[in-house]
């Protein structure tokens, strides 16, 4: 397996585990760290105070065992608890700042390529642009860069930057994985979307998925 294939496999596994953990009651965000041999080294979780750290830890162990047949030592799981009011504010999907995918425009010439991604919020539209010389970046990366640019346009500041985007197999299906850095953390965020009929839209969705739990909270703090 090549280095890129190995990295794709690691990212797809991290996305699957993170998405499962984030579905557990009270969990706001999660990060999973794997070792070089694929073993779980650390699981970091932010949860609200409605449930004890022990309850959250046990649910994580049970969920990972049921879904992935993975027996996790409780000592690798760390749970940081925050007040219910604070956690609800951060995770609340505030309706008037919910970004929606509106469309994409691609223009290719012999020696250059440009991409425009449009995101909407209420009655306003935000467009992000990315351009490069032909062959300098992949089409996937150009679309992801334009998406991040549109999100930053909405934020009013360069809050996010694209780190990587690639295709991987998740549960036997092709998916796009995007990693985005949050300069307000700093924090590395990971998002994913299954590939369906529209590959470009899947890239946009994966990039948005990486940041959608942070956009509302950071927007209000700027």
Q: How far is CA 150 from the centre of its chain?
A: 16
Kindly list the domain boundaries of the chain, sorted by start residue. Answer: 3-91, 95-221
Q: What pLDDT score does 207 carry? A: 94
Q: What pLDDT score does 91 carry? A: 47
Tokens at 169, concatenated: 């197999």
Burial 39-58 (b: 16+ CB within 10 A, else e): ebeebebbbbeebebeebbe
- Domains 3-91 and 95-221 equal at CATH topology level: no
Report the largest interatomic distance among the alpha carbons of the chain, rounded to a whole angstrom.
Answer: 60
Q: What pLDDT score does 43 carry? A: 95
The set of long-range contacts for 165-168, using a CB threshold of 8 Å and a minimum separation of 24, is 165/140, 165/141, 165/203, 165/206, 165/207, 166/4, 166/7, 166/8, 166/11, 166/140, 167/8, 167/140, 167/195, 168/8, 168/9, 168/11, 168/12
For 3-91, CATH number? Answer: 3.30.300.30
Q: Mind listing the pLDDT tens digit of every residue in the chain (222 residues)?
A: 555 555 555 667 888 888 888 888 888 888 899 988 888 999 999 888 888 999 999 999 998 988 888 899 999 999 998 876 555 444 444 444 678 999 999 988 877 889 999 999 888 999 999 988 766 568 899 999 999 999 999 999 999 999 999 888 877 788 898 999 888 766 678 888 888 889 999 999 999 988 887 787 777 766
Fold type of domain 95-221:
Double Stranded RNA Binding Domain (3.30.160)
Q: How far apart are CA 58 and CA 46, in angstroms?
A: 15
Q: What pLDDT score does 89 carry? A: 44
Q: Quick count: other Cβ atoms within 10 Å of Cβ 195?
A: 18
Nearest to 99 by CA among 157, 140, 147, 162: 147
Q: What pLDDT score does 136 carry? A: 52
Tokens at 78, concatenated: 């760390």
The set of long-range contacts for 61-69, using a CB threshold of 8 Å and a minimum separation of 24, is 63/20, 63/21, 63/23, 63/24, 64/17, 64/20, 64/21, 67/20, 68/16, 68/17
Contact 81, 48 (CB under 8 A): yes
Contact 122, 111 (CB under 8 A): no
Pairing outcome for strands 100-108 and 77-82: unpaired
Q: What pLDDT score does 53 carry? A: 92
């Amino acid at each position: 397996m090549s280095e890129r294939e190995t990295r794709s496999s690691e990212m797809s596994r991290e996305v699957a585990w993170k998405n499962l953990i984030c579905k557990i009651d009270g969990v706001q965000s999660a990060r999973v760290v794997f070792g070089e041999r694929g073993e779980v080294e650390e699981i970091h979780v932010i949860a609200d105070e409605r449930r004890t750290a022990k309850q959250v830890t046990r649910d994580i162990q049970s969920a990972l065992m049921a879904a992935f047949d993975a027996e996790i030592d409780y000592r690798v799981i760390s749970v940081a608890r925050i007040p219910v009011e604070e956690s609800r504010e951060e995770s609340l999907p505030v309706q008037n700042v919910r970004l929606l995918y509106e469309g994409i425009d691609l223009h290719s010439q012999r020696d250059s390529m440009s991409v425009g991604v449009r995101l909407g919020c209420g009655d306003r539209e935000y467009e992000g642009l990315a351009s490069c010389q032909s062959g300098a970046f992949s089409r996937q990366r150009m679309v992801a860069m334009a998406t991040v640019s549109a999100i930053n346009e909405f934020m009013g500041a360069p809050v996010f930057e694209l780190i990587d985007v690639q295709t991987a197999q998740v549960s036997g299906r092709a998916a796009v994985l995007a990693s985005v850095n949050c300069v307000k953390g700093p924090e590395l965020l990971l998002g994913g979307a299954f590939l369906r009929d529209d590959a470009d839209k899947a890239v946009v969705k994966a990039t948005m998925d990486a940041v959608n739990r942070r956009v509302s909270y950071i927007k209000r703090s700027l």
